[in-house]
Amino acid sequence: MTKVQEKEKLTDIMSKFISLVSYKLPKDVENKLKELKEEETNPLAKIIYETMEENQKLAYELKRPSCQDTGVLQFFVKCGENFPLIGQLESVLRNSVYKSTQETPLRHNSVETFDEYNTGENIGKGTPSIFWEIEEDSDKVEIYTYMAGGGCTLPGMATVLMPGEGYEGVVKFVLDRMTSYGLNACPPLLVGVGIGTSVETAAMNSKMALMRPVGSKNPNENAAKMEQLLEDGINAIGLGPQGLKGSKSLMGVNVVNTARHPSTIGVAINTGCWSHRRGKITFDSNLNYEIDTHEGVKL
């Protein structure tokens, strides 16, 4: 295959994968929503879970997005230094967003700032967002695809705490945000908390926390304890599915942390809504692919 043919093949697979992510939730989210529905005792909340399930079923059957807000596309790429299309990947991802927008179709969500017009293509200046990590001695590429909806993006916030505020300050920050903005994000939510030195490191950690599977635990014992305490605390607010009350409000809390400057605690929050559309696809150097996040699907 020539480079041009390889590029076309990768664009075609990626556009189909983006479409899949728009109409089928990953298996960890599907399983958690099922569990929450079965445990729910509030009759209205139970009906909401049943409606979500029906919505998902129809979206998959009809191959139509599971939510009208198909979000701004974000890609988190871990690319081997020897992956043959490393130099073409950025244009492949942009073109595949355009192709999927036309073919799925996806709602147009890319408004040029200051000029205030919608490009109508889901691509614009800096959109889709592509975040890179280069891996040594590898010829594979792992791509997380995420659809960042407006409602679930709204609670996002980052700040830097005084060191004396400690981890209690982290909990206060997260709970303040969830009590004021949690409702906007279509619960039950996956809450991503990032901890690091500064706003940008904490913000990136909080987004990466949303890529971690529902039900996974932070490998650090204290961080895992904070995940559980935050989950219990936010559930106690009683938002319930779609904010209409219910026994649980969350799919979980994932904390991702990196080392920090001794004088600062950077903290950020990002939320994923019940329609948490993320998917992970891995290509080898021959463009054979595996999808880890979804079960029993074909592109």
Q: 177: Cβ–Cβ under 8 A, 6 or more apart, which residues?
A: 155, 157, 269
Number of residues that bind ligand SF4 (CB under 6 A): 12
Minimal distance, residue 211 CB to ligand SF4, in Å: 16
Q: How far apart are CA 229 and CA 268, in angstroms?
A: 17
Give the number of other CB atoms < 10 A from CB of residue 287.
15
Which of 80/272 has CB closer to ligand SF4? 272
Q: Could you say which of 18, 24, 25, 69 contacts ligand SF4 (CB under 6 A)?
A: 69
Which of 71/80 has CB closer to ligand SF4? 71
233 binds ligand SF4 (CB under 6 A): no
Question: Residue with the closest Cβ to ligand SF4?
Answer: 149
Burial of 66 from C-beta contacts in 10 A (0-12 / 13-18 / 19+): buried
Minimal distance, residue 33 CB to ligand SF4, in Å: 12
Q: Could you say which of 105, 151, 233, 243 contacts ligand SF4 (CB under 6 A)?
A: 151
Amino acid, res. 218: N
Minimal distance, residue 271 CB to ligand SF4, in Å: 8
Q: 276: Cβ–Cβ under 8 A, 6 or more apart, which residues?
A: 25, 26, 29, 152, 190, 210, 214, 251
Q: How far apart are CA 128 and CA 122, in angstroms?
A: 7
Amino acid, res. 17: F
Minimal distance, residue 48 CB to ligand SF4, in Å: 12
186 binds ligand SF4 (CB under 6 A): yes
- Decide if 192 contacts 207 (C-beta within 8 A): yes
And the tokens for 117? 């017009």
149 binds ligand SF4 (CB under 6 A): yes
279 binds ligand SF4 (CB under 6 A): no
Which of 52/267 has CB closer to ligand SF4? 52
Picking from 188, 154, 161, the residue whose alpha carbon sits closest to that of residue 29 is 188
Q: Are strands 278-283 and 289-291 parallel, antiparallel or unpaired?
A: antiparallel
Minimal distance, residue 132 CB to ligand SF4, in Å: 25
29 binds ligand SF4 (CB under 6 A): no
150 binds ligand SF4 (CB under 6 A): yes
33 binds ligand SF4 (CB under 6 A): no
Q: Could you say which of 29, 33, 48, 67 contacts ligand SF4 (CB under 6 A)?
A: 67
- Decide if 145 contacts 21 (C-beta within 8 A): yes
SS3 call for 129? strand
152 binds ligand SF4 (CB under 6 A): yes
User: Left if phi > 0, otherwise alpha if psi is -120 to 50, otherwise beta: which for 82?
Assistant: alpha
Using the rule CB under 6 A, give the single segment among 39-47, 109-117, 133-141, 147-155 that binds ligand SF4.
147-155
Q: How far apart are CA 106 and CA 96, in angstroms?
A: 12
Which of 185/250 has CB closer to ligand SF4? 185
Binding site for ligand SF4 (CB under 6 A): 67, 69, 71, 149-152, 185-186, 273-275
